[in-house]
Amino acid sequence: MYTEADLQSAVAAGALSHEAAEALRAHAAGLRSAPIADEEHFRLITGFNDIFVTIAAVLLLAAAGGIGAAIAPGVAGLLIAGAAWGLAEFFTRKRRMALPSIVLLLAFVGGVVAVPVNILAEADPDMAGRTAALIAAAIGLGAGIAAWLHWRRFMVPITVAAGAAAVVGTVLALVLAALEPMVGEERLEALLLPLVFVAGLGVFAFAMRWDMTDPQRETRRSDVAFWLHLLAAPMIAHPLFNWLGVTEGDNIGAGSVLGVLVIYVAMGLVALAVDRRALLVSALAYVLIALTWLFREFGMVELNVAVTALVIGSALLCLSAFWSPIRRAVVEQLPAALRSRLPVTTRTALA
């Protein structure tokens, strides 16, 4: 089985002409009755060997962490980061294995973050307030630098999302540290969700910048955008549904349920327009909670969960089955300048 990444590599190596690759993509799109872009491909597992190597790498990294923890605070993170980088030199740079590369990137950045966290936890475990926020900003900056170095060396698509998460954490920590003297520590928690929401919109815009440079979704930029959308989705969805009271569980009312459905439909329209399903998946839990409450209020006490799952599952399956024609109808309502920068629709692909 050949992936889109394999096809790109064959074209880059001269083993396959660009025209032949385009013909193969068009043939595959015709078989699916949908353009390749709509499939939202990304590399995760190319074979069972990816799983085998990942299990072995996790065992080795766990062993390195255990040995380091027995030596001194911070050593565990150093050993994990060093081992992850060394393994990536072979399994990422040479073998180009997807799943191990993702795990090793997360282990490297996590190891870098763990070094100061472990040292500070031993030195002052009760640290709080502005000092803690400033230290968190410094740690986030270190994580961002680590992700940047990893990207320069290995260019694993998820690395950009990891770096973006580190930058968001750094900025949020600095903002909270700056606001703490003015609003007090008690009100900082109330400011966190609005800041996360704004940051989520920023990450979404950053993801769209990557997406719009590859509307055919034929290069690594599309994979980078996928992980950025996956990062942005919960940052946007959670504050919205928290403000509606959905996360409070029993405090849901009819107005909240209506708000949840309106927001979910709006997210669905955005997801269709940009051809990314992350927003729909991220908000799914909140919709399930709201509809479960609604059906319980209508007297379906014993079957409320089952009926909710039936309704949402059926709706999502129908959306998946008719994704391309529904998406075409949505995209055709957008300005021509914006349509040209979005992934192709079925009509464009078959034209």
DSSP secondary structure letters along 261-274: HHHHHHHHHHHHHH
What are the structure tokens assigned to 45, written together? Answer: 């597992």
According to the model, what pLDDT value does residue 137 have?
93
Nearest alpha carbon to residue 218 among 2, 1, 25: 25
According to the model, what pLDDT value does residue 48 have?
85
> Which residue blocks in 184-253 are alpha helix, DSSP H?
185-212, 220-243
CA 191 to the chain's CA centroid: 23
According to the model, what pLDDT value does residue 349 have?
44
Q: Distance (Å, rounded) from C-alpha 188 to C-alpha 173?
A: 11
Instruction: Please give the model's pTM, rounded to 2 decimal places.
Output: 0.84
According to the model, what pLDDT value does residue 27 have?
61
Q: Distance (Å, rounded) from C-alpha 46 to C-alpha 22?
A: 22
Instruction: State the 10-residue block means of pLDDT for the chain, 351 residues long.
Output: 60 68 62 56 76 96 96 95 97 91 96 94 72 89 96 95 96 89 74 93 96 84 92 93 75 78 92 91 87 76 79 91 90 87 63 41
CB 146 within 8 A of CB 90: no
